[in-house]
Amino acid sequence: MSLSCTAALTTCLLLLLQVCVAQDVIGASHYRGAPPIQYSTLSGPSFVNSSSSSEVRVVAGATAILTCAIRNIHNQTVSWLRGRDIRLLTIGSATYTTDKRFVSSNPQQGHEWILKIHYVRMSDGGKYLCQVSTTPPKTLYVDLKVHEAVATVSPGNEVHVQTGSLLELVCRVEGCPTPAMLSWSRDARQMQDTVPNAYEIDTGKGPRPVAELTMKKSPATGQDSGIYTCTSTCTPPINVTVHVLRGEELAAMQHHNRGSSSTRERGTMAMVFLGTTVLQLLMSLWWHWLPWADDTDGSA
Ligand SMILES: *[C@@H]1O[C@H](CO)[C@@H](O)[C@H](O)[C@H]1NC(C)=O
Ligand SMILES: *[C@@H]1O[C@H](CO)[C@@H](O)[C@H](O)[C@H]1NC(C)=O
Ligand SMILES: *[C@@H]1O[C@H](CO)[C@@H](O)[C@H](O)[C@H]1NC(C)=O
């Protein structure tokens, strides 16, 4: 009885093995030559854009919008996953992660499935997967590139101007999504005499928005000395210390600056001077020890 049981089991195993081998052959034939015809794509879901990946660029702090366009969705569901850890973020329009910054939607029940990431962080950058619940699932990869906006002030963080001349401060923010809101303030009071300016620069990787705000005061007086702050919607505030000085004060300060900038030069000069002095001392000693030096001294 046990023998017949073993025989039956062996037969079973052999059958299973044969099925497996057969499936392997079928599977292998798929990868040989031309790609297999997927009949399901004719009627089943497919991504609208034939390319299976796309790139989204966003500035840190803004809302990232990842789009997945699918046609013939029928009754299938769409999920968004994070590629880094294959973490399930959303299914349909429900968020499945504790991080509530991730929100998905299907506007007007159209063919677009959108994942929004609010207050996007640098660490959110990377691949995201838009997956349709077919068997096997169909996947679209979206590469999220997060970059930081950069704010700069000119002429610098420390500004010296002469009384009566033009005080001009420019705050420039690059990479902030339009519209970037900029403001100049002094002692927490917003300044009115400012000129906004917005344009785009081509960085080679596509246009990058630039916003500029110029604060002008002419003629500058001693009262204009103080700390000015440039604030923008997507960068930390920058302080600028302004010193409005009378002509002679400015000249003295510039002289002082020039002096301090050549400290090394002066050091070298001191070394040369010291060396010359030592040499002179040695030479006078040498003269002193020479016999004729004594003679001349005596004769004199
Ligand atoms: C398809 O891709 C093109 C460019 O790659 C893009 O302009 C267009 O918006 C995309 N369409 C959809 C529906 O995503
Ligand atoms: C989708 O609909 C088809 C019939 O059109 C049905 O066979 C299938 O089970 C449905 N799938 C799901 C996930 O509801
Ligand atoms: C900028 O200046 C303000 C005062 O106007 C001060 O409170 C703040 O701490 C300064 N910020 C920095 C980063 O120095």
pLDDT, position 13: 39
Which is higher by pLDDT, 86 or 33?
Answer: 86
Concatenate the DSSP letters of all residues of 237-277 into one string.
-EEEEEEEE-HHHHHHHHHHHHHHHTHHHHHHHHHHHHHHH
pLDDT, position 250: 81
Strand partners, 138: 132
Return the ligand number nearest the Cα of 51: 1
pLDDT, position 284: 65
Lowest-confidence pick of 33-42, 61-70, 267-276, 281-290: 33-42
Q: Is the CB of 239 under 6 A from ligand 3?
A: yes
68 CA → ligand 1 middle, Å: 10
Residue 19 has pLDDT above 80, yes or no: no
- Give percent of the chain above pLDDT 90: 39
Q: How far apart are CA 38 and CA 167, in angstroms?
A: 69
Which is higher by pLDDT, 121 or 276?
Answer: 121
Q: Is the CB of 227 under 6 A from ligand 3?
A: yes
Q: All domains of the chain, ordered by start, with CATH?
A: 42-147 (2.60.40.10), 150-257 (2.60.40.10)
pLDDT level of residue 190 (50, 70, 90 thresholds): confident
The mean pLDDT value of the chain amounts to: 77
Distances in whole angstroms, Cα of residue 171 to Cα of each of 18, 61, 99, 196: 74, 20, 35, 10
Mean pLDDT of 25-50: 53
Listed residue (148, 142, 150, 149) closest to 116, CA to CA: 142
pLDDT, position 32: 41
pLDDT, position 4: 52
96 CA → ligand 1 middle, Å: 27
pLDDT, position 123: 94
Which is higher by pLDDT, 282 or 263?
Answer: 282
Q: Is the CB of 72 under 6 A from ligand 1?
A: no
Tokens, residue 130: 């838009």
Q: How far apart are CA 90 and CA 96, in angstroms?
A: 5
Which residue has the least CA distance to atom 11 on ligand 3? 239
Q: How far apart are CA 227 and CA 240, in angstroms?
A: 6
pLDDT, position 260: 55
Query: Ligand 3: which of 229, 241, 242 to mutate, judged by most atoms within 8 Å of the beta carbon?
Result: 229
pLDDT, position 299: 42
Three-state DSSP class for 5? Answer: helix
The predicted-structure confidence for 130-159, as pLDDT tens digits, reads as follows: 999 998 999 999 999 998 888 999 999 999
pLDDT, position 266: 53
Atom of ligand 1 nearest to the CA of 54: 5
Atom of ligand 1 nearest to the CA of 112: 13
Q: How far apart are CA 80 and CA 129, in angstroms?
A: 6
Lowest-confidence pick of 104-113, 164-173, 177-186, 212-221: 177-186
Which residue has the least CA distance to atom 14 on ligand 3? 239
pLDDT level of residue 278 (50, 70, 90 thresholds): low
Which residue has the least CA distance to atom 2 on ligand 3? 239
Whether omega before 179 lies within 30 degrees of 0, making that bond cis, reads yes
The predicted-structure confidence for 47-71, as pLDDT tens digits, reads as follows: 887 666 788 988 888 889 999 999 9
Q: Is the CB of 69 under 6 A from ligand 1?
A: yes
Which residue has the least CA distance to atom 10 on ligand 3? 239
Atom of ligand 1 nearest to the CA of 67: 14
Strand partners, 168: 216
Atom of ligand 3 nearest to the CA of 236: 13
Classify residue 50 by its DSSP letter.
S
pLDDT, position 300: 39
Residue 187 has pLDDT above 60, yes or no: yes
Contacts of 38 (CB under 8 A, 6+ apart): none
Q: Give the strand order in the sheet containing 182-186.
A: 158-162, 238-245, 226-232, 182-186, 189-190
Which residue has the least CA distance to atom 2 on ligand 1? 49
Residue 167 has pLDDT above 80, yes or no: yes
pLDDT level of residue 277 (50, 70, 90 thresholds): low
Distances in whole angstroms, Cα of residue 56 to Cα of each of 64, 110, 147, 205, 297: 8, 21, 11, 12, 94
Cβ atoms within 10 Å, residue 121 = 12
Whether omega before 207 lies within 30 degrees of 0, making that bond cis, reads no
Which is higher by pLDDT, 47 or 5?
Answer: 47
Residue 180 has pLDDT above 80, yes or no: no
Q: How far apart are CA 32 and CA 69, in angstroms?
A: 31
* The one-letter amino acid at 36: P
Q: How far apart are CA 93 and CA 87, in angstroms?
A: 16
